[in-house]
Amino acid sequence: MRKTQCLLWLLFWTIASPLFADQIVLKNGDRLTGNITKSDGKTLLIKTEFAGDVTVQWPAVQEITSTQPLHVATQEGKTVVGPVTTTDGTLVVSTPSSGSVNVPKANVTALRSDSEQVAFEKSLHPTLWQGWTAGANVGFALTRGNSETKSLAIAFTGDRKTLHDEIALYTNTVYATNDVSTAIPHVTANATQGGARYDRNFTKLLFGFGSADFQTDALQMLNLRSVLGGGLGVHVINTSQTTLDFLTGVNYTRENYVGTNRNFAALTLGEELMHKLGASTVVTEKLYFFPDLSQTGNYRGTFNFGTITKISKWLGWQNAFGDIYVTNPPADPTTGLRPKQNDLQLTTGLNFTFTH
């Protein structure tokens, strides 16, 4: 008797399980059965039993039938929840409180299962430690024999971007020596840069920013340059493929050179570009101009250009070029010689990426 009951129960679930699964019908007549996970209005993801995760184009979906509740977001900014069926190109959502709600398929901006909705709501208010993408680049060179040199280049970038704000961190350093006993100077490069910036979106176009940047350069006799600033920016282009921002504001600069201290206010005028080349390469470019407000004609300019090409999910090839120009670096108090106005940095090597 017990064996008979077990066989009948197994037979029931074998026959009835497809009836309790979600199903989509494509315009070419193909049917997929499984659990509908999410759609962003461009594609739809359904988890099937035998084919795994299947992504289909949203315009190719003709009908949807779900046994589980789905969260359907519309162009009007509303979200209705309930099992979904399709009638004449319209999604019919059976809500527990308002009954059946009709949503034209063309008005659907997103569609999520319960678990995807929970993940989406968490993404709207992430903690400070969530959403980070970072990368580190390390390069080392050593020669012995006819030449005796060594150099070390280290770069790090970190970025946390949400729907409302963004935090960006960076640092890079270059140190090189000529170890030949007669070489003058012995240290041929010793420069470090680092900083952070916080952006807050006011609208889709307008954002405010605050920044802190620091720099040392032993060969320019710069012990420390500290720049604290803020202002407004405009997202001229803001897509997943390309971003272009223009920024303007003011900053307070404090410079400590060997034998000289300088403090002054300056303007901040900048432009930043990011563009994805294909699926594996990202190009970034930044150009900033800082005119001194107290001494007309004095200014500082910075230019940075970089590329990262993915080799794998966590490994890539990085190239970074930087140029810093200062109109009036102070002269060496002991020799009276003035250091060069321009400093260039070029680093290349493997990039290690991690996310949290």
The C-alpha R_g of the chain, in whole angstroms, comes to 29
Give the domains, in start order, of the chain with CATH numbers. Answer: 17-122 (no CATH), 132-355 (2.40.160.40)
The dihedral sign for the CA sequence 311, 128, 160, 194: negative
Helices and strands, counts by H and E, the chain:
2, 23
Average pLDDT estimate for 48-75? 90
Residue 337's pLDDT band (boundaries 50, 70, 90)?
confident
Does pTM surpass 0.85?
A: no
The predicted pLDDT at position 16 comes to: 42
Give percent above pLDDT 90 in the chain. 45
CA distance 140 to 276: 28
Nearest to 264 by CA among 217, 298, 235, 288: 298
Query: Which residue is it, tokens 């060594």?
Result: 150
The predicted pLDDT at position 4 comes to: 54
Nearest to 247 by CA among 224, 223, 229, 226: 229
CA distance 226 to 92: 60
Average pLDDT estimate for 330-339? 76
3-state SS of 286-350 is EEEEEEECCCCCCEEEEEEEEEEEECCCCEEEEEEEEEEEECCCCCCCCCCCCCCCEEEEEEEEE
**DSSP conformational letter for 202:** S
Whether 215 has a pLDDT exceeding 90, the answer reads yes
The predicted pLDDT at position 152 comes to: 87
